[in-house]
Amino acid sequence: MYHRCTHFVNAESFLKQRLLCITVVDRAEDAVPLAEALLAGGLNVMEITFRTAAAAEAIQRIRQKVPRMAIGAGTLLTSEQVQCAIDVGAQFGVSPGLNEAVLNTAGERDLPFFPGVMTPTEVDRALNLGWRHLKFFPAEPAGGAAMLKALAAPFAHTGVKFVPTGGINAATLPNYLTIPQVAAVAGSWMGERKLIQEKAWSKITALTAEALKVVAQQKG
């Protein structure tokens, strides 16, 4: 079994703003204006999920045309997808669950990665595999911030950090930011699929700026 040697600096570099926008891109040509809209709102990190045929090309276009944007690949379910994400320039990877084959490939290629967990057993397993930055998913259906706070408590001394994802919106964002073990909050409300399809770039910029204001207020 490959044991991941965690690189905190690599993973944490993508979480400095405490906010991550998750997007589903149906048309590769929408990738660059989407990235530019998020940047205009102040956010320099985003994730494109591997749920559409356009995902790989979308990531590649952003790496080539929008170098200021840190871009990750989400919903990585197989080792082959991890390799594809790396090949097109993804700077980090995310999975909904704790797939050891996926983690082994990410670890061997030194790709910063956020595997998904929801239970104490999964957190324990991830820590034993050497992973310290974990996606808490699906956050809201699993019990929201209260659930994550209770889940994090027994593991706080390990240095584990969570990125809650799933059903979070502008209204619930502050609830997660108060939890010390939350490195960043991930959500799709800033760049919803419909907004991208409608090319509502100014709306995406406005929603992003509003979310970052909430983060700034929490820091203050």
Active-site positions read: 47, 135
Which among 135, 205, 129 is positioned nearest to 176, based on CA atoms? 135
Distance CA 95, CA 93 (A): 7
Q: How many CA atoms lie within 13 A of 62 on its CB side?
A: 36
Distance CA 15, CA 135 (A): 12
* Helix or strand holding residue 117 (H, E): strand 116-117
Q: Are 215 and 177 in contact (CB under 8 A)?
A: yes
DSSP state of 155: G
